[in-house]
Every structure is written in structure tokens, then in C-alpha cells.
Amino acid sequence: MRFIRRHGPTLVASAALMAVVAGCSAPADSGTRTQGPDITVFAAASLTDVIDAMNEAYDGGGRLRINLGSSAQLGGQLVSGAAADVVITADLEALDPVRGEGLIAAEQVVAGNSTVLALAPGNPGEVTALEDLSSDNVQSAVCAASVPCGRAATRVLESAGVALRGESREDSVRSVLTKVTTGQADAGLVYQTDALSAANQGVTYLELSDPEPNQYPAALTVEGAEHEAAVRFYEWLAGDDAARIFRAAGFRPPGQ
């Protein structure tokens, strides 16, 4: 059994992602899940569909308990004393407070992600370029500057020399995506993986020049390092099965 605690709305994973899950290695008796100790995993909201797929694919021993939220929120929870074995954030900077408290035993980059401009179904704002977000006639949504997707948005906007007007600021990339999918925003800066996950809701996107795509670190906490099951899952994240799941969801290989 898997346990998932969600913060904010989630979307159904794509058929392609589920097909990858079906092809991942499994024990000979795949009709039953291996039971074992709980492995508490804190994961960034932009990993929602990937974590769902990993829940289906992983059977290395132990039960995954997932806490999904913004990277800043997850880091704050850990620093405040919340218990986790593995934490995966949407950029390297989000782990700084956790590193500063000496809570990390090991870390590795497991994926990369680029920033795109997601367009509401039907493109009611008639947005054709990033520069259109400077118009008073276009309602945009971006993440708050304190979270990874906000830092990514700032990086892309500054690189393009674009200033937003009257934008909505959200606490996670999934909140931005919800604004776009429901038409509350004409366009929003999200990760490419999020835009792809909403394609079945009519969301399209424009590729942007992202000078430094986000890198997603997975960290094994000091507490997790004491648990064999947690260490096995942490190591699995760097393996072929996890890489296929990341790739099917639109993530880039580490370093890209």
C-alpha cells in the first residue's frame, strides 16, 4: 500500500508515463507488493505525476509515504522538525536551509526541468510570445519569488528583458498550472513537465530560452541514512527505472 499526502490539486499522469511504469522491472511475483518499513519522502509539487508513477513502479522493499508541497514549504517543515527519509526539491537552492541545519547525509541530482509559457485552453489571451505578458490585456500567473518555480520565472524573464503587469503570484507551480487550466490566467510560467501533464486539458505551451534549467536534487536525510529501506529507495532514484519515469514525464537528464 502507498500513502500520499497532497498539497493542492493533482492531474492524471499521461498514458505514456503509465506505459513506462508497466515496463519497469518488478519481482517475479508482481501480484503482491513487498511490505516493510515506511519510507517517508518529501517531494516538490512539480513531481506529482512522477511520484504517482514511482509509487506504482517501486518495489524495493518498504512502503512509500509521500508528502507533496512546494519546495520551500517542505524545507521549512524539515527545519522545523518534521521527519523525512528522502527529500526531492525543484532546485538546488531550496535545500540550502536543510543543508545549513546539517540534516542531509547525501544528495544527488536526479533530473532537470526547463521553464515554458503555458497557455490557457484555446489561448483566449492570444499570447504568441513571452513579451505579450507585458500587456495590460493579458492576465498572467507565476510562482512567488521565494520558491524554485519563481526563481526560474525571474531568471527567464530577466534574460528576455520582460516585465510582468498585474500577475498573480502563487506558492507552487501546480497552483500556477491550475490558474491556467481553469482560464483564470491567460498564461503562466511553469515547468515543461507541468505543461505536458495538462495537455489533455487543452493546455499548450511556448518554449522559452532558459539559461539555466532547474536541477532536481534528491537528498537522503541523516535520519533516512539509518534506515536500510530508505537508502535503497535513494539509490533507486539514480537507476534506470527511475530515469525512464523522469524521461517519460518530460524531465531532462541530470545536468541538462
Phi–psi pair at 73, nearest 5 degrees: -65, -45
What pLDDT does 97 receive? 97
Q: What span, in angstroms and rounded, lies between the C-alpha atoms of 128 and 12?
A: 27
What pLDDT does 143 receive? 96
pLDDT surpasses 90 at 224:
yes
pTM, two decimal places:
0.85
Mean pLDDT of 134-154: 96
What pLDDT does 31 receive? 41
What pLDDT does 36 receive? 72
Mark 3-27 as b/e (b = at least 16 C-beta within 10 Å). ebeebbebbebbeebbebbeebebe
Q: Which residues pair with 142 in a beta bridge?
A: 169
What pLDDT does 61 receive? 84
List the single range of 18-22, 100-104, 197-201, 237-241 with lowest mean pLDDT.
18-22
Q: What span, in angstroms and rounded, lies between the C-alpha atoms of 253 and 150?
A: 22
Q: pLDDT category, 32, cuts 50, 70, 90?
A: very low
Mean pLDDT of 178-182: 98
